[in-house]
Amino acid sequence: MDFRDSPDEAEFRSELRSWLAAELPPDWGEREPHVGRWDFEAARRWTRNLFDAGYAGLTWPTEYGGRGLSPTYQGIYLEETARIDAPDHIGVIGLGMAGPTIIAHGTPEQKETHLRGILSGETIFCQGFSEPGSGSDLASVRTRSEREGDEFVVNGQKVWSSYAHVADYCILLTRSEAGSQKHRGLTYLLVDMHSEGVEVRPLRQITGDPEFNEVFLTDVRVPVSNVVGEVGGGWGVAMTTLLHERGTLGFALTARLDALFRRLVSTAQKTGAASDPLVRDRIADLYVDLQGLRFTNYRSLTALMKTGVPGPEGSVAKLHWSEANQRLTSLARELLGADGQLDGEGAFWNGYWQYQQLRSRGNTIEAGTSEILRNIVAERVLGLPRSR
Ligand SMILES: Cc1cc2nc3c(=O)[nH]c(=O)nc-3n(C[C@H](O)[C@H](O)[C@H](O)COP(=O)(O)OP(=O)(O)OC[C@H]3O[C@@H](n4cnc5c(N)ncnc54)[C@H](O)[C@@H]3O)c2cc1C
């Protein structure tokens, strides 16, 4: 693969740099890092800006507000925004998972209804896959959907649903065939979170943020027109979502990890730890890891451009990224010594590393635990025998 930009890509990169420089304060890239999550309404305004300027949905079809460009442009966008730590698009789940799934399996009406709103930040999606007793073993989903005329009536409970407290819609995996086993008899629904019978209860994460939720569904009525794919064929649709969750996001996360690495180096310099040969060794090791990850991502990007769909190789990136992120944030916090125990105002960068380290714990669980991803890599990438 040629890593240099083509003339068109170079032009796109330079336009994007100028746009970011004009939209963000001049010292944005050099400021002290932000701690915790972004303010929701500010993130929504930023998303609208991105959409109006044509930077949301670079690879999405033009008729739904995208630009129809190749994934390389999305890669450039992610590198450039990470380089100066620009705010993210607000629709993490809509943009990365619900949207691509609707593009692949949705009806023309579903595309018309949802895609533009996801890109502009008007419609926020959450993902209702996990249940108590159904996480890694997603095929054991128990939330029921029973057909009554033109509607499905949904009953059950989901858990760990990120953004459900602010979401307008949920991609919900349900069991529509009573008594069906495993991945048979599942149906994938788009559920309006404002429907009667949807109750969202926030859960507090180790960081202190109430960023994910329990979702209780009691006699929630969902029009049959909100089924994505075939009734009973929800497993295949859910696999599209998961491949995008692990694949497409891999590039974004790696780009952000580069920015975090630069902060680690800066922290080593500020704390005086940069002259310690053991610290230098560990930082150099991390640098090598990150370069490996970067080039693995370029390979996934090449494969994606050839096939149009992310493959199981995305699991390598997610696995490696989440573990490298934990090593990086733990090392950074260690460099602070006893000050690493402080939090909030007065702490180094207002407790930025403490927050990052705590948040990184969830990275090896969400979007597939490391154990599950190792199984996928072993079975589906390397072709080794099934583990069970
Ligand atoms: C921050 C965060 C955000 C999340 N957001 C969402 C969301 O928005 N929507 C959503 O639906 N879910 C979400 N999740 C849930 C996440 O997808 C699940 O937690 C994950 O799939 C693991 O499932 P579990 O918690 O039931 O653990 P379990 O499946 O019970 O696993 C427990 C342990 O056993 C191991 N294990 C299980 N099966 C095997 C096996 N076959 N081989 C080897 N080891 C195994 C696991 O790796 C793990 O270490 C989120 C989780 C986190 C932490």
Give pLDDT, residue 29: 74
Total-model pTM: 0.95
Give pLDDT, residue 249: 67
User: Ligand 1: distance of its center to the CA of 372 in Å?
Assistant: 9
User: Ligand 1: distance of its center to the CA of 342 in Å?
Assistant: 30
Q: Which of 159, 162, 171, 369 to mutate to test the pocket of ligand 1 (most atoms within 8 A of CB)?
A: 369
Backbone φ, ψ for residue 223 (5° rounding): -60, 145
CB-defined site of ligand 1, < 6 Å: 126-130, 135-137, 160-162, 212, 362, 365-366, 369, 371-372, 375
> pLDDT below 50 — which residues of the chain?
none
User: Ligand 1: distance of its center to the CA of 364 in Å?
Assistant: 9
Q: Convert the pLDDT of each residue in 138-148 to its tens digit.
A: 999 999 999 99
What would the two tokens of residue 269 be? 């310099």
Give pLDDT, residue 174: 98
Name the amino acid, one letter, at 228.
V
Q: Average pLDDT over the chain, rounded to whole? A: 93
Q: Convert the pLDDT of each residue in 177-196 to its tens digit.
A: 999 999 999 999 999 999 99
Cα–Cα distance for residue pair 51/89, rounded to 1 Å:
9
| Residue identifier of the C-alpha nearest atom 37 of ligand 1 | 136
Q: Which ligand 1 atom sits nearest the alpha carbon of residue 367?
A: 17
Of 187, 184, 85, 77, residue with least CA distance to 128? 187
User: Ligand 1: distance of its center to the CA of 138 in Å?
Assistant: 9
Annotated catalytic sites, by residue?
245
Give pLDDT, residue 297: 84
Q: Which ligand 1 atom sits nearest the alpha carbon of residue 164?
A: 8
Q: Convert the pLDDT of each residue in 275-321 to its tens digit.
A: 999 999 999 999 999 999 988 888 888 877 788 777 777 888 899 99
